[in-house]
Amino acid sequence: MPRIAMRLGRLALVLLCVALVSFGLMMLSPIDPVDAYLGPQVAQVSPEQRALIAERWGFDAPPAVQFGHWLRQLASGDLGWSHVYNQPVSEVIGQRFQRSIVLLASAWLVSALLGFALGVMAGAKEGSPLDKMISTYAYLTASTPAFWLAMLAVLLFSVTLGWAPTCCAGPAGVLDQDVTLTTRLHHLVLPVATLALLGIANITLHTRTRMLALMRSDIAIHAFAQGAGRFDVAWRHGLRHASLPAVTLAFASLGELFGGSILIEQVFAYPGLGQATVAAGLRSDIPLLLGIALFTALFVSIGNLVADTLYGVIDPRLTTGGS
Amino acid sequence: MFTIDQLSLQLPMYASWWKREWATCLNDVSLTFATGEVHALVGASGAGKSLLAYAMMGLLPAQARLQGQLYYQGTLLDASRQRRLRGRELALIPQSLSALDPLVRTQRQVAWAAQRAGHATESAWRASQQALDHYQLNARAQQAYAHELSGGMARRVLTAMAHVSQARLVIADEPTVGLDPHQRQRVLTALRELADQGKTVVLITHDLRHALPIADQVTILRDGKSIETAPACAFQGAGTSLSSTYSQALWRALPDNGFTVSMAQPVDKETVVA
Amino acid sequence: MITPQPRLRAMLSLSITAVFIGGLIASQWLLTDSVQRMQFGARLAPPSLEHWLGTDALGRELWARTLAGLALSFWVGCLAALLSTLIALSLAALATLSARLDALVSLLIDTLLSVPHLILLMLIAFALGGGTQAVIIAVAVTHWPSLARVLRAELWQLRQAPYVHISRALGKSRWFVLHGHLLPHLLPHCLVGALLLFPHAILHEAALTFLGFGLSPSQPAIGVLLAEAMRYLNGGYWWLGVFPGLGLLLMVLMFERLSSQLRRAL
């Protein structure tokens, strides 16, 4: 228990640091916060009004005071106002994340399961044709820019073959609540497939390395001496030894998954959190950008926390060794 | 029952940046192991003892170059027959304790060994229970993971895994390394018992002293060559009944025989001290 | 069976990469004007003998623009990887000075690792207001933590090493210890680390510019070219989207291969 408490404390500290760093970066920005706040209406505002706005929002206070003010707001659950979406930041994040989580979760699950299976198959027999095929595929996708793969997918499946829609989470001109489940899924298939395809490489390569090490270890030689075949060793020993690192890696790579989803949402014009992030960055929506940075940091840190904790719970060498 | 006929083994090694050379690890070794005896293979590290064991089991890496023949019960033992007989007729007790899977409980590992030897799931479980009981591993040790076992217990688990296969030839690779005298005695007694049950035990060790009390035959290996094979009783007195000077030197260098290392032939330090 | 020598292989891919990079840089000397030259008679021309990889909406040759983009990516990647390694090395060295500094550095590492790379990149590019410099700095600042972690662990281990203690006890200066004992151990790590960083840096640079951060739309970076291609995707102008990405993929693959072979050879 105290271990968990310590981890949670560390998590809070890291989040505070994330807030500090990202706020500091926003302060550094040469973009005038009043301009950013006003957006396209800048031209219609007189200098007096600008001064008023600056005073009202505390833009002219020293950075430390502003940071304290922002933190106090955060503590009371107020993330600020997004001028791009004309909504409170918390609402924007909430709505967008609901759409993104479907994409993220399904891609995550597919890539973890498929990646692990491919890694085990490749690592069971080094140098076999199957291994060569799988590792070539993994090396190739690991070096592929995520957004380019998404573009190729659009080009092939949507433009050339016409199997999947090119854009968005539903057909244009239809209200969000009227979109049927099948249409929704139809719009999700291509983004999920691209995102998963990219995530597979990482887990496959990692699992393969583990399997190769195991197949050369004393454990495997001993098993071969008992008359076991490669399949037997891979199934009985390999799965155990490779699954723990794979699960850990899957939880620890949530950040990369999210980064990938930003790019893929951009290509498919999928109205999720990733797209909102890009809009916030390009149109200087500082409160939204800060909110998203904090939110994703929380998301990633929880993933890391789960990964660390799982290791301690599952691995017998750690559970019994500690007590 | 097992014959090694002029076995030579070469392994690749990189002499320089891009030149590959073949290192000779076993050189024209011929040996015969008879049923019901403990045959000790004694030599310093690097003499090729473990490689000989791997060659007998067919576990050498793919790039190894092997010449010569192996015969098991009078019939030629080739790679495919080795694969069939491994775990059923031929068993290996490995040198390193890392051969136990750290993520699997003891009894399950022994049961797997039994299954690999041809037992059905149910009978494998029973057989593993019996084997572990036989080697005095209690219920707690049976449910333990490898890191929770002491060195002696882990050795006995490895022995139980060889025992459960009912193999007729058991190769024990350095089974006494890192054990205190009491535990060592227990492991050696267990090996002697196997031989007394009619199995053939090949005991690989670098320590002549520990091998002599239980061995029937002793073969001295040096630099991949078999120097001589003699009955264990030849190692007594001044060792004059031993034919080679190296074996005599090895025998006389033992602590009880006065550490006389003043022979013409230099003796590997490790063999003597250990 | 002939097993190829890892060192020979590493030399081979090193020379292939060197030739490629040499060609890339030389091409930028030779093709100063064809990158921006517009041919209004040949707008959106498909790949042909005349226009090798086709042309874009303003009739500019795609192959020249792709080469220019790759050269830009290469420089950004190089500088960012170098800068990143320097940051990692100096912070790792700083961390070994005292326990307090070590805690601070590891907190910083945890902080940066907990924000998704792409979001951190956007924040930094936003803070610096765009431009090539901003992209380089952003990529450098986001990529050092994982290397710093490795170096820090390595330094801690080295400090405990007996020969370092003996050297200290013999009255050798700090500089001697650092220069004679620590650096020779760390340099291979740094080299491999920088090489590993390089493909990541290039990919992230392309992603950042693709999203519209950092570089102006007139600059022929791979990300910019692909973002432009996005607008013509539905029209079936496939070459605009395919070739720049393919070029980037080839470059990244080349460096991945080089780094993995160097790791094996060293």
Sorting pLDDT into bands at 50, 70 and 90, what band is B215?
very high
Mean pLDDT of C113-141: 89
- Look at residue C42 in the predicted model and tell me its pLDDT: 74
Sorting pLDDT into bands at 50, 70 and 90, what band is C25?
confident
Of A222, A240, A315, Cβ closest to residue B99: A222
Contact residues, chain C to chain A, C-beta under 8 Å: 107-108, 110-120, 122-129, 199, 203, 206-207, 210-213, 226, 229-230, 233-234, 236, 238, 241-242, 245, 248-249, 252-253, 256
pLDDT digits (tens, 9 = 90+) for B141-200: 889 998 888 888 898 899 899 888 888 999 999 888 878 888 888 889 989 999 999 999
The b/e string for B103-138 (b: 16+ C-beta within 10 A; e otherwise) is: bbbbbbbbbbbbbbbebeeeebbebbbebbeebebe
Query: With 70 as the cut, is the pLDDT of residue B263 above it?
Result: no
Query: Is the CA virtual torsion C81, C87, C93, C98 positive or negative?
Result: negative
Sorting pLDDT into bands at 50, 70 and 90, what band is B109?
very high
Query: With 70 as the cut, is the pLDDT of residue B266 above it?
Result: no
Note whether A323 contacts B: Cβ–Cβ < 8 A.
no
Give A228's contacts in chain B (Cβ within 8 Å). 87, 112, 116
Cα(B194)–Cα(B166) distance, rounded to whole angstroms? 10
**Mean pLDDT, chain A, integer:** 86
Picking from A118, A103, A129, A121, the residue whose alpha carbon sits closest to that of residue A260 is A103
Q: How far apart are the first and last CA of chain A?
A: 12
Picking from C201, C198, C88, the residue whose alpha carbon sits closest to that of residue C150 is C88
- Look at residue C218 in the predicted model and tell me its pLDDT: 78
> If you search the block for the tokens 């990482």, which residue do you land on?
A202
Model's pTM, two decimal places? Answer: 0.85
- Look at residue B192 in the predicted model and tell me its pLDDT: 92
Which chain C residue has the Cα nearest residue A284?
C126
Mean pLDDT of A113-139: 92
Spatial neighbors of B64 by CB under 8 A, at least 6 apart, are B9, B10, B11
Cα(C265)–Cα(A192) distance, rounded to whole angstroms? 38
Q: Test A281 with C111 for CB contact under 8 angstroms.
A: no
Of C113, C115, C253, Cβ closest to residue A296: C115
Q: Rounded to whole angstroms, what are the CA distances from A38 to A31, A47, B29?
A: 12, 13, 90
Note whether A313 contacts B: Cβ–Cβ < 8 A.
no
- Look at residue A307 in the predicted model and tell me its pLDDT: 85
Q: Test A277 with C253 for CB contact under 8 angstroms.
A: no
- Look at residue A310 in the predicted model and tell me its pLDDT: 81
Give B14's contacts in chain C (Cβ within 8 Å). 5
Q: Rounded to whole angstroms, what are the CA distances from B123 to A233, B194, C223?
A: 21, 21, 64
3-state secondary structure of B109: helix
Cα(C177)–Cα(C169) distance, rounded to whole angstroms? 11
Mean pLDDT of B135-140: 88
- Look at residue A40 in the predicted model and tell me its pLDDT: 65
Q: How far apart are the first and last CA of chain C?
A: 24
3-state secondary structure of B8: strand
Query: With 60 as the cut, is the pLDDT of residue B67 above it?
Result: yes
- Look at residue A103 in the predicted model and tell me its pLDDT: 92
Which of the pair, C46 or B221, is modelled with greater confidence? Answer: B221
Based on the number of CB atoms within 10 Å of its own CB, is C203 exposed (0-12), middle (13-18) or buried (19 or more)?
A: buried
Q: Test C210 with A263 for CB contact under 8 angstroms.
A: yes
Mean pLDDT of A289-308: 91
pLDDT digits (tens, 9 = 90+) for A97-107: 998 999 999 99
In chain A, the percentage of residues whose pLDDT exceeds 90 is 40
pLDDT digits (tens, 9 = 90+) for A209-241: 999 999 989 999 999 999 888 899 999 999 989
- Look at residue A1 in the predicted model and tell me its pLDDT: 61
- Look at residue B32 in the predicted model and tell me its pLDDT: 92
Sorting pLDDT into bands at 50, 70 and 90, what band is A13?
very high
Spatial neighbors of B218 by CB under 8 A, at least 6 apart, are B39, B40, B42, B208, B211, B212, B229, B230, B231, B232, B234, B235
Cα(B253)–Cα(B63) distance, rounded to whole angstroms? 38
The first and second tokens of residue A128, run together, are: 């076999």
**Distance from the B119 Cα atom to the nearest Cα atom in chain A, whole angstroms:** 12
Q: Test C116 with A151 for CB contact under 8 angstroms.
A: no
Q: Are B206 and B270 in contact, with CB atoms under 8 Å apart?
A: yes
Q: Test C119 with A293 for CB contact under 8 angstroms.
A: yes
pLDDT digits (tens, 9 = 90+) for C143-198: 899 889 888 888 888 877 788 778 878 877 777 777 777 778 888 888 888 888 88
Mean pLDDT of C232-240: 82
Spatial neighbors of B127 by CB under 8 A, at least 6 apart, are B111, B114, B119, B164
Q: Test C5 with B17 for CB contact under 8 angstroms.
A: yes
Give C8's contacts in chain B (Cβ within 8 Å). 17-18
- Look at residue A320 in the predicted model and tell me its pLDDT: 53
Q: Test A266 with C126 for CB contact under 8 angstroms.
A: no
Cα(B165)–Cα(B149) distance, rounded to whole angstroms? 22
- Look at residue A308 in the predicted model and tell me its pLDDT: 82
Cα(B271)–Cα(B249) distance, rounded to whole angstroms? 11
Mean pLDDT of A266-289: 89
State the count of interchain CB pairs (< 8 A) between A and B. Answer: 71
Q: Are C238 and C250 in contact, with CB atoms under 8 Å apart?
A: no
Spatial neighbors of A94 by CB under 8 A, at least 6 apart, are none
Q: Test A225 with B59 for CB contact under 8 angstroms.
A: yes
Give C126's contacts in chain A (Cβ within 8 Å). 25-26, 29, 31, 281, 284, 289
Cα(A158)–Cα(A165) distance, rounded to whole angstroms? 6
Which of the pair, A323 or C23, is modelled with greater confidence? Answer: C23
- Look at residue B258 in the predicted model and tell me its pLDDT: 62
**Kind and range of the H or E run holding A16:** helix A2-28
Picking from C80, C79, C63, the residue whose alpha carbon sits closest to that of residue C24 is C63
The first and second tokens of residue A23, run together, are: 């706020």
**Distance from the B223 Cα atom to the nearest Cα atom in chain A, whole angstroms:** 24
Give B12's contacts in chain C (Cβ within 8 Å). 3
Q: Which of A304-318, B26-40, B207-221 has the lowest mean pLDDT?
A: A304-318
- Look at residue B18 in the predicted model and tell me its pLDDT: 61
3-state secondary structure of A275: helix
DSSP state of B170: E
- Look at residue A211 in the predicted model and tell me its pLDDT: 93
- Look at residue C97 in the predicted model and tell me its pLDDT: 77
- Look at residue A322 in the predicted model and tell me its pLDDT: 39
Which chain C residue has the Cα nearest residue B14?
C5
Q: Which of B70-84, B166-180, B238-252 has the lowest mean pLDDT?
A: B238-252
Tell me how crowded residue C129 is: count the other CB atoms within 10 A of its CB: 13
Q: Are A207 and A120 in contact, with CB atoms under 8 Å apart?
A: yes
Give A28's contacts in chain C (Cβ within 8 Å). 127-128
Query: With 80 as the cut, is the pLDDT of residue B15 above it?
Result: no
Q: Test B63 with C5 for CB contact under 8 angstroms.
A: no
> If you search the block for the tokens 């999203």, which residue do you land on?
C211
Q: Test B86 with A225 for CB contact under 8 angstroms.
A: yes
The b/e string for B8-40 (b: 16+ C-beta within 10 A; e otherwise) is: bbbbeeeeeeeeeeeeebbeebebebeeebbbb
- Look at residue B239 in the predicted model and tell me its pLDDT: 74
**Kind and range of the H or E run holding B10:** strand B2-14
Q: Which of A15-19, A182-186, A302-306, C12-16 has the lowest mean pLDDT?
A: A182-186
> If you search the block for the tokens 């060659």, which residue do you land on?
B55
> If you search the block for the tokens 């590891």, which residue do you land on?
C106
DSSP state of A235: I
Cα(B76)–Cα(B54) distance, rounded to whole angstroms? 17
Q: Which of A39-48, A76-85, B76-85, C67-76 has the lowest mean pLDDT?
A: A39-48
